[in-house]
Amino acid sequence: MGRKKGNDVDGIILLDKPLGRSSNSALQKVRYLFNAKKAGHTGSLDPLATGVLPICFGQASKVTSFLLDSDKRYRCTAQLGVTTTTGDKEGDELDVREITPFCKDDIEKVLMNYRGPIEQIPPMHSALKHNGQPLYKLARQGIEIERKVRNVTIHELTLIDFTEDSITLDVHCSKGTYIRTLAQDIGEAMGFGAHLSLLRRTEVSPFDCSTLYTIEEIEKLANENALAEILMPIDSALKEFPSMQLKSDEVALIRNGIKVKRDDTPETDMIRLYTENNEFLGIAKHGLTESGEIMLVPRRLMNTQAPLSI
């Protein structure tokens, strides 16, 4: 096989994924605009959803697995009185119920039960797999599989607005939370049923998501040869973890996959490593020898030589 076409691009951008486009389609478009050999995203958004989709180029793809565990924030609207086969507006109607008048206090009483640790049953229309087959493909065949209850945490659940037949919420949640399921469950608890009519991801930890880039903006920057200006360093995805600087002899050992004796190694599985010149080396973890010596153990190393932030 020949080498994959494109340039060696290392870094991260925060894409504002458009409505109606799959995460993979958006990823491939951005990868094309950057002419990058390698790119991946961290956590899919449905075509119905918009908002923050971190895209990792080149060596940054090595940190995507760590980002999958990060907290997220969403703005969502639940349409009351109608349930659907998919739990969102793309599905067929299942049940239509009369909506009786309600007030803010009625909503708040329900929301109280969905803050903190909660249990969810993942929807059939999801990317979870059963015997290697995505559940949504089975759902399209009319097949329903029993799903295990999963534990998630709703850190914050705030009522933003409501109408006579809808509620809009701000949700700060742990990994693995299905906002569709949350909207459905809240609708059921209110007695009307509901489906998700709007979903926007507004934050992905640990990034500052105040500046996102649309595909159109990236196209414009590509035409101006200014794409490098919006690339964030790889370690921007890991800034919540402790860091250590290594001397040149320690760097040589770590780069060869050899443990380094360091008594000041934090007791964690996620430590950012840097050279004395602030070059980001990768991720290490705390380890112990049989005799109890504290060791710095390489975990995931970068091949890039680019100086990055600390």
| From 46, 88, 185, 235, the catalytic residue | 46
pLDDT in tens, 38-83: 999 888 898 999 999 999 999 998 888 777 778 999 999 999 999 9
Other CB atoms within 10 A of residue 272 CB: 21
For range 174-192, the mean pLDDT? 95
Task: Name all domains of the chain by residue range, CATH numbers in brackets.
Answer: 11-69+206-236 (3.30.2350.10), 72-204 (3.30.2350.10), 241-301 (2.30.130.10)
CA atoms of 179 and 135, how far apart (whole Å): 17
- The average pLDDT across 158-183 equals 96
Higher-pLDDT residue of 4 and 308 is 4
Q: How confident is the model at residue 308 (pLDDT cuts 50, 70, 90)?
A: very low
| Number of other CB atoms surrounding residue 35 within 10 Å | 12
Catalytic site includes residue 46? yes
Is the model's pLDDT at 244 over the cut of 80?
Answer: yes
pLDDT of 267 above 70: yes
What pLDDT score does 1 carry?
41
Residue 301, beta-bridge partner list = 282
Mean pLDDT of the chain: 89
pLDDT higher than threshold 60 for residue 305: no
pLDDT digits (tens, 9 = 90+) for 115-125: 999 999 877 66
Give the rounded percent of residues in the chain with a pLDDT score beyond 70.
90
Q: Is-contact 281 299, C-beta < 8 A?
A: no
The HSE-up count of residue 255 (CA atoms within 13 Å, CB side) is 16
pTM of the entire predicted model: 0.88
What pLDDT is attached to residue 127? 64
Q: pLDDT tens, 78-129?
A: 999 999 988 999 888 999 999 999 999 999 999 999 999 999 987 766 666 6
In the structure, what pLDDT confidence band is assigned to residue 259 with cuts at 50, 70 and 90?
Answer: very high
What is the chain's length?
Answer: 310
